[in-house]
Amino acid sequence: MTPSLRILHCLRAPIGGLFRHVHDLVKGQSELGLEVGVICDSETGGVPAGRALEQLADFCTLGVTRVPMTRQIRPSDFKSYRQVKRLAARLEANVLHGHGAKGGAYARLAARGLKRKKKSVGAFYTPHGGSLHHAPTTLTGRIYVKAEQRLAPLTDGLIFESLFAARRFSEFIGPPTCPVCIVPNGLYPHEFYEPRLADDAADFVFVGELRPLKGVDIMLAALAAQRTVYPATAVIVGTGPDEAEFKRLAQKLGIEDKVSFAGSVPARTAFARGRCVVVPSRAESFPYVVLEAAAAQMPLIATEVGGIPEIVEGTDTPLIRPGDIAALAQQMRAFLAHPKPFLGRAIQLQRHVANRLTVERMTGDIVDFYISTLGGKAATEAAAANA
Contact 329, 278 (CB under 8 A): no
CA distances from 233 to 56, 239, 291 (A): 37, 19, 23
Q: Measured between alpha carbons, how far is 341 from 130 in angstroms, rounded to an integer?
A: 35
Summarised one tens digit per residue, pLDDT across range 103-115 is: 999 999 999 999 9
Kindly give the pairing relationship between strand 202-207 and strand 180-182: unpaired
142 has a pLDDT exceeding 90: no
Q: Spell out the domain ranges in the chain.
A: 6-186+358-386, 189-356
35 backbone dihedrals φ, ψ, rounded to 5°: -95, 125
Q: Which run of H or E residues covers position 126?
A: strand 122-126
Counting Cβ atoms within 10 Å, is residue 322 exposed (0-12), middle (13-18) or buried (19+)? buried
Summarised one tens digit per residue, pLDDT across range 179-217 is: 999 999 999 999 999 989 999 999 999 999 999 999 999
**SS3 state of residue 8:** strand
Percent of the chain with pLDDT over 70: 94
Percent of the chain with pLDDT over 90: 82
93 has a pLDDT exceeding 90: yes
Tell me the CB-side half-sphere exposure of residue 346, using CA atoms within 13 A.
23
**SS3 state of residue 10:** strand
Asked if 6-186+358-386 and 189-356 have one fold, the answer is: yes
Kindly give the pairing relationship between strand 202-207 and strand 274-279: parallel
CA distances from 227 to 121, 222, 230, 234, 287 (A): 58, 9, 5, 12, 29
The fold of 6-186+358-386 is Rossmann fold (3.40.50)
357 backbone dihedrals φ, ψ, rounded to 5°: -120, 95
Counting Cβ atoms within 10 Å, is residue 153 exposed (0-12), middle (13-18) or buried (19+)? exposed
Q: Does the 189-356 domain belong in CATH 1.10.40.30?
A: no
Kindly give the pairing relationship between strand 274-279 and strand 300-303: parallel
Sign of the alpha-carbon torsion through 69, 106, 357, 367: negative
Q: Mean pLDDT in the chain? A: 92
Summarised one tens digit per residue, pLDDT across range 279-309 is: 999 999 899 999 999 999 999 999 999 999 9
121 has a pLDDT exceeding 80: yes
Chain-centre distance for alpha carbon 330: 28
Summarised one tens digit per residue, pLDDT across range 12-66 is: 999 888 999 999 999 999 999 999 999 999 998 889 899 999 999 999 999 999 9
CA-wise closest residue to 207 among 318, 298, 322, 285:
298
Residue 9 DSSP symbol: E
CA-wise closest residue to 152 among 112, 121, 189:
112
